[in-house]
Amino acid sequence: MESQPVSDAAKASRCILETRGLTKDFKGFTAVKDINLKVNEGTIHALIGPNGAGKTTFFNLLTKFLTPSAGTIHFDGHDITHRRPADIAQRGVIRSFQISAVFPHLSARENVRIALQRQLGVSYQFWRPIKMLDQLNDKADALLQEVGLKEFAETKAVELAYGRKRALEIATTIALEPKLMLLDEPTQGMSAEDVGTVTDLIGRVVKGRTIVMVEHNLNVVSSLADRITVLNRGEIVAEGDYEAVSTNPQVMEAYMGTAHAD
């Protein structure tokens, strides 16, 4: 039987990540409580919530920086609850701004090239002729162009302006061809101008990719996220698109301490 091409709609409805009853206790304090979350392939899913809501702890559970106290994590059809962090990265769960930290004294191109080498599994073949490794330059340049850093290929990462550094981090993450990108507050600490640039960049380069992001800036969330999960005190208080969650009384209460936020 001939296989049918998968339509965008069908692809978007495939759940790639699911947590069931995910819980993390710290000595009797429950930071993440019974979280049931589903992320569909090809979508941007944002996690928001006030300080201390449990967002970072939840991310750390997904990447196995922390071990859950209870519950399971399923990724791409596999139960990964008891997998080691390296296995999870190998399966394509890549956390940007942490794992893919850039090397400050290497150029933008060299940074992307190293990520590409890692993806190809040739990182230790340092005896290969430089020329062979130079074949990666074309691919690296294409990625730099994609994130708007073509003119900065020779610039050392440390010399890039903040927003451009973030763009480089995104390029090195994409180079690893993630099945799921975890973005940790991608616009944190940025000027309004950089927030706009990085938001546009994420919107452009992540098309068709699956992202879970923690983000405090609600403008960024409203323009990027297909679906939003709101956490408060370790629990999900609301889920839906931006319009649904932003008008939810429990969300207003979590953020502002009142359901009448006018």
Q: Which region, judged by CB under 6 A, interacts with ligand ATP, from 54-62, 103-111, 113-121, 171-179? A: 54-62
Under rule CB under 6 A, residue 187 binds ligand ATP: no
Helix (H, G, I), strand (E, B) or coil at 175: helix
Spatial neighbors of 129 by CB under 8 A, at least 6 apart, are: none
| Interstrand relation of 15-26 and 29-40 (parallel, antiparallel or unpaired) | antiparallel
Q: Which of 152, 27, 54 is nearest to 102 (CA)?
A: 152
Q: Is 65 in the site for ligand ATP (CB under 6 A)?
A: no
Which range binds ligand ATP by CB under 6 A, 14-22, 24-32, 157-165, 186-194?
24-32
52 binds ligand ATP (CB under 6 A): yes
Q: Which CB sits closer to ligand ATP, 172 or 229?
A: 229
Residues that bind ligand ATP (rule: CB under 6 A) add up to a total of 11
Identified binder of ligand ATP from the candidate list 3, 4, 7, 51, rule CB under 6 A: 51
Return d(Cα 86, Cα 83) in angstroms, integer. 8
68 part of the interface to ligand ATP, by CB under 6 A: no
Residue from 193, 233, 246 nearest 46 by CA:
246
Q: Per CB under 6 A, does 55 bind ligand ATP?
A: yes
Question: DSSP of 72-132, one letter per residue?
Answer: EEEETTEE-TT--HHHHHHTTEEEETTTT---TTSBHHHHHHHHHHHHHT-TT-TTS-HHH
Asked if 189 is part of the footprint of ligand ATP (rule: CB under 6 A), the reply reads no
Closest distance to ligand ATP from the beta carbon of 178 (Å): 21
Please say which residue, 62 or 136, places its beta carbon nearer to ligand ATP: 62
Query: How far apart (Å, rounded) are the C-alpha atoms in residues 237 and 233?
Result: 9
What does the per-residue mask of binding to ligand ATP show for 200-239, with x meaning CB under 6 A? ----------------------------------------
Q: Which of 16, 31, 175, 225 binds ligand ATP (CB under 6 A)?
A: 31
Amino acid at 225: A
Find the length of the chain: 262
Quote the tokens at residue 100: 């893919």
Q: Which stretch binds ligand ATP (CB under 6 A): 13-21, 25-33, 103-111, 155-163?
A: 25-33
**Does 56 contact ligand ATP by CB under 6 A?**
yes
User: Strand, coil or helix: what is 257?
Assistant: coil
- Pick from 43, 57, 229, 246 the residue near ligand ATP by CB under 6 A: 57
Kindly state the tokens that stand for 83.
């997998």
Binding site for ligand ATP (CB under 6 A): 26, 29, 31, 49, 51-57
